[in-house]
Structure 1
Amino acid sequence: MKTIIASFQKKFFYNIELGKIHNDIYYCKLNFNYEEYHDRLFKIYKINYDNSLIKYSIKRQAEYLSGRFCCKIIFDYLNDSNQVLSNHDKSPLWPKGFVGSISHTDKNAIAIMTRNVLCKLGIDIEYFDKKKILNYEHLISNYEMLLLKSHNISYKLSLLISFSAKESLFKALYPQTKIPLYFDKMYIYKIDISNQKFYIRINHIYVGIILPQLEFVGHYILENNLLTTFIIC
């Protein structure tokens, strides 16, 4: 599923991994230290500082820096000087000729990117906390709950895959739709454990919005209690 191109360490960032998912789709993931954060890191790592960050917590600023640094590593590998800025709604503003997606949780960040502007990408990472995961139950229908409980993996992991998959699908489609896709209007109808795939369907018509399709296939990876889901369409 992926090919690792490089891995390296820095002071604030560590376990940095750059690779490919497909021939023209790159990813970068890393860990970061909240304790080491200060806003001078933006200048050190040559990341544009968004002035709106000043009103956010240190945690949020560290996450923003880490996600953008993931993107910078991919740009550097491609010998491109572009950066990912922010739209007014705080979603990533991708430079012309690129599309991608960013996610972060706890002390982890990841970005996925391609030059294929016809492609739609969505990625999400979530920490698998068995105690907190049940908080997501209100985001699924009774029907989806029955489907998730029928899969040959734990219900809690299925529930987290469902939540994360919907985040990934939202991110993949938002640049086109510019509206929130309601989580209770999507559902996972199949999880393929052997190939680590999930199948998700949108069962709602959004007035004035033309979706590219209503059914999507995505992938998931669970490593060291960190779940990654991504959709390429």
Structure 2
Amino acid sequence: MMMNISPRLPGENNKDYSYRVIKANIMSLNLRPGQVISEIDLAAALEISRTPVREVLAMLKEEHLVEVYPQVGTYVSKINLQLIEEAAFMRFTLEKEVLKLACASFPVEELLELKKNAALQKLLLGQQGQAPEFHKLDTEFHHIIFRGNKKENVWTSITRLSTHYNRIRLLSEMERSYDDTIRQHLRIVEIIENKEMENAERMYQEHILWPMKNWEALYHRDSPYASYF
């Protein structure tokens, strides 16, 4: 089992460290949906004891990212279409309203951060193999909008429900161009800056709901990724 092992953060204990690294490998699809994993292998890869790894796997099970079958084994959860639909519904319902709030009032310093983020995304236009980097910028882009509206706890709730949604989104970004998504982000910045509240709902239909139609090819039975679902 190959994992990307990032350096330990200052003051990070074994449990926090293993949780961060294992979850990051699941969310990045480095640990594939349906892949068998074991406490022994994970502990060896992280060079820690099995106890914190066992605790982390229990936490990830609660987050629907790990499945444990007694007497059989532990697996990375396959991507669940119902959880994707629920996350998309939550994101669309809440994000269009938060965008409207941002049109009414948005701190200058947060708008500057949003523009910086969008500028970094723009540098990725036309580039291949940058899906993981784009995905990080994408997540932070939306986080900034919630933060600027003092809705960080709402964003945390969205993030917790969006683990399966974010995995299929990353898979789509790896297979398809993410140029359209970057252009949509640039447009969202314009909507906030120009206070175009009337365009918020349409923008998030295009940004969140419409791309889901393209995802059907990923879980079709003839797809090379059919086993991920």
The structure with more helix, counted as a fraction of residues:
2
Higher Cα Rg, which structure: 2
The structure with more strand, counted as a fraction of residues:
1
Fold match (TM-score > 0.5): no
Q: Please report the TM-score for the alignment, with normalisation by the length of structure 1.
A: 0.25
Higher RCO, 1 or 2 (CA under 8 Å, sep at least 6)?
2
